Amino acid sequence: MRFGVFMAPFHTAQGQNPVTALARDVATIQQLDELGYDEAWIGEHHSGGSELIASPEIFIAHVAARTTHIKLGTGVLSLPYHNPLWVADRAILLDHLTRGRFMLGLGPGSLPTDAAMIGIDPVSQRAALEEDTDVLIQLLTGDEPVTKKTDRYQLVEARCQLRPYSRPCFEVGVAAIASPSGPRIAGKHGLALLSIGATMTGDLDLLAAHWDVMEERAQQFGTTPDRAAWRLVGPVHLAETKEQAYADVAYGLDDWCRYLQYEAAVPHFEPGGSTLKERIDWINESGVGVIGTPDDAIRHIRQLQQQSHGFGCYLMMAHEWARPDATRRHYELFAQQVAPHFQGSLERLDAARSLAAGRREALYQRMGDALDEARTRHDAEQAARVGRLTVRARTGEG
C-alpha cells in the first residue's frame, strides 16, 4: 500500500499570513519526501479565503525542485474551468520536468463560488467534466487532431506537440465524493479513482457504490479497473496518546469544521457537530477519519481494506487542526508506526529479531568461547615472543 496526502490546502484560521501558510505547505511536502511518503496531491481553488493554491501546476513545479522521490499530482484540477488542450500541454510539460513524478487528478470543481465567478452553473459541472475528460484523454494519448466546440471553449484540429515523458502516459485520476460522476469517468477510460471523504460507514457508505459504478462502466467500455490505483482520502491526526491528540486538535479543528459548515457550500462533505467534542466524535465514529494514536490509524485502515475489498493508496487530507510542531510529529508517527504495517517492511525485521533471540543463548556461549580462544592465542604468542627474546639475550644475539 502507498501513502500520501491530499492537500487542498485548508488554511482555515482567520488572520494568518498567506505567505507563511504557503511556506508551510511547501515544507510539508518536503518533510513527506524525507519521510518516504509516496504521493502528494495539491488542489485548485479560487475563493473562500482558506484554500489558497490557485494553480496546482505552478505549486508542483515549485516543490518538484525541492524534493527527490515523492510523486506530485493535481488534487484536483477543476477541468471545466480550463481549455483541455492547455491542460494537456501543461501536464505533459510537468511530466517531462519531473521525469515521471507527475500525476494528473481531475474534478468538476468543488467550490461553487469559483464556478460562479466565471459564469458556470454548478449543475452543469459534472457533465462538463465527463465531456472534457473525453477530449483531454484523446489529446494526451492519441495522434489524431481534435475538433470540438462547447459553450466554454473551441478546438480546431488541436493536438499536443509533445508526447508524455511517461509511456504511454502519466497516471490520470478522477475525484469522487457523493455523485457517480467520478467513477463513471474513471471506469470509461480506465483511470485512477480518488474517493474523497467517502469512507463513512453505515447508510452513508459510498465506497461500494463507487466501485460498482467503476466496474459497470469498465465492462461497458472494455477497460480494466485497477484497485491498486484506487485512492481513499480522509482526515487524520495522530499523537502518542489519544489525550494528546484531542488536545492538539483543539488548536484548529473548530475552524476547519466552521469553514465547511458555514462558508464553503459543499454539502457532500460537511462535518457534523457544533462543539469540539462532538466534532472529534464525528471524525472518529463516522468512519471519515481518525483523531488518536497510530494504533487507531492502523485499525481504521484495516477496516477500510475490509469495507472496500481492496485499495492501493491511503491519502491523509492535509489540514491545520494542530500547531505546526504537532502536525510535523503526526506525519512522523504515521510514517514510522503506521505505514510499515501495510508495506511489508516489518516481516523480515521481525523474523530477523526472532531468529536472533532464538539463537542468542547458543551463540552467546560460542562468542564467549571465541573471546577466550582469542585471549589464549594472544597470550601464547606473547609467551613465545618473550621466550625468543630471552634466548637471544642469553646467546648474545640481537
pLDDT digits (tens, 9 = 90+) for 275-287: 999 999 999 999 9
Say yes or no to pLDDT of 376 above 80.
yes
Check whether residue 259 and residue 383 sit in a common domain. Answer: no
303, 330, 345 — which closes off a domain? 345
Q: Determine the structural domain holding residue 381 and report its residue range.
A: 347-398
Q: What CATH number has the domain bearing residue 208?
A: 3.20.20.30
Check whether residue 320 and residue 394 sit in a common domain. Answer: no
Cβ-based neighbours of 46, under 8 Å, separated by 6 or more: 54, 111, 113, 114, 117
**Residue 263 CB neighbour total at 10 angstroms:** 15
What mean pLDDT is reported for the chain? 94
pLDDT digits (tens, 9 = 90+) for 167-221: 999 999 999 988 899 999 999 999 999 999 888 776 556 888 899 999 999 999 9
- Report the C-alpha gap between 272 and 388 in whole angstroms: 90
Contact 224, 191 (CB under 8 A): no
Residue type, 223: T
Check whether residue 140 and residue 33 sit in a common domain. Answer: yes
Please give the average per-residue pLDDT across 375-392, as a whole number: 89
Please give the average per-residue pLDDT across 125-132, as a whole number: 97
Check whether residue 353 and residue 341 sit in a common domain. Answer: no
pLDDT band at 397 (very low <50, low <70, confident <90, very high): low
301, 316, 345 — which closes off a domain? 345
345, 361, 383 — which closes off a domain? 345
Check whether residue 298 and residue 381 sit in a common domain. Answer: no
Say yes or no to pLDDT of 362 above 80.
yes
Instruction: Select from 80, 77, 84 the least CA-distant residue to 135.
Output: 84
Peptide bond into 76 cis (omega under 30): yes
Provide, rounded to the nearest whole percent, the portion of the chain with pLDDT above 90: 88
Please give the average per-residue pLDDT across 46-58, as a whole number: 97
Say yes or no to pLDDT of 398 above 60.
no
pLDDT band at 22 (very low <50, low <70, confident <90, very high): very high
Residue 326 is predicted with a pLDDT of 98
Instruction: Select from 106, 178, 96 the least CA-distant residue to 137.
Output: 106
3-state helix, strand, coil in the chain (%, to 5): 55, 15, 30
Residue 308 is predicted with a pLDDT of 93
- Report the C-alpha gap between 85 and 113 in whole angstroms: 24
Q: How many CA atoms lie within 13 A of 135 on its CB side?
A: 28
Domain count, the chain: 2
Check whether residue 385 and residue 250 sit in a common domain. Answer: no
Check whether residue 385 and residue 265 sit in a common domain. Answer: no
Residue 244: Cβ-neighbour burial (10 angstroms; 0-12, 13-18, 19+)? middle
Check whether residue 226 and residue 323 sit in a common domain. Answer: yes
Check whether residue 211 and residue 317 sit in a common domain. Answer: yes
Residue 200 is predicted with a pLDDT of 77
Q: How many CA atoms lie within 13 A of 35 on its CB side?
A: 26
Alpha carbon of residue 237 to chain centroid: 14
Residue 70 is predicted with a pLDDT of 98
pTM of full prediction above 0.85 = yes
Contact 217, 174 (CB under 8 A): no
Residue 346 is predicted with a pLDDT of 87
Provide, rounded to the nearest whole percent, the portion of the chain with pLDDT above 70: 98
- Lowest-confidence pick of 73-87, 121-135, 202-216, 309-323: 202-216
Q: How far is CA 299 from CA 53, 252, 303, 326, in A?
A: 33, 25, 6, 22
Say yes or no to pLDDT of 268 above 90.
no
- Report the C-alpha gap between 232 and 36 in whole angstroms: 19
Residue 204 is predicted with a pLDDT of 55
- Lowest-confidence pick of 124-128, 256-260, 384-388: 384-388
Contact 133, 189 (CB under 8 A): yes
Residue 208 is predicted with a pLDDT of 87
Check whether residue 393 and residue 330 sit in a common domain. Answer: no
Check whether residue 99 and residue 225 sit in a common domain. Answer: yes
Check whether residue 248 and residue 371 sit in a common domain. Answer: no
Range 221-238 burial, b when 16+ CB lie within 10 A, else e = eebebeeebbbbbbbbbb
Collapsing DSSP states into helix, strand and coil, what is residue 116? Answer: helix
Residue 354 is predicted with a pLDDT of 93
Pairing of strands 71-74, 77-78: unpaired
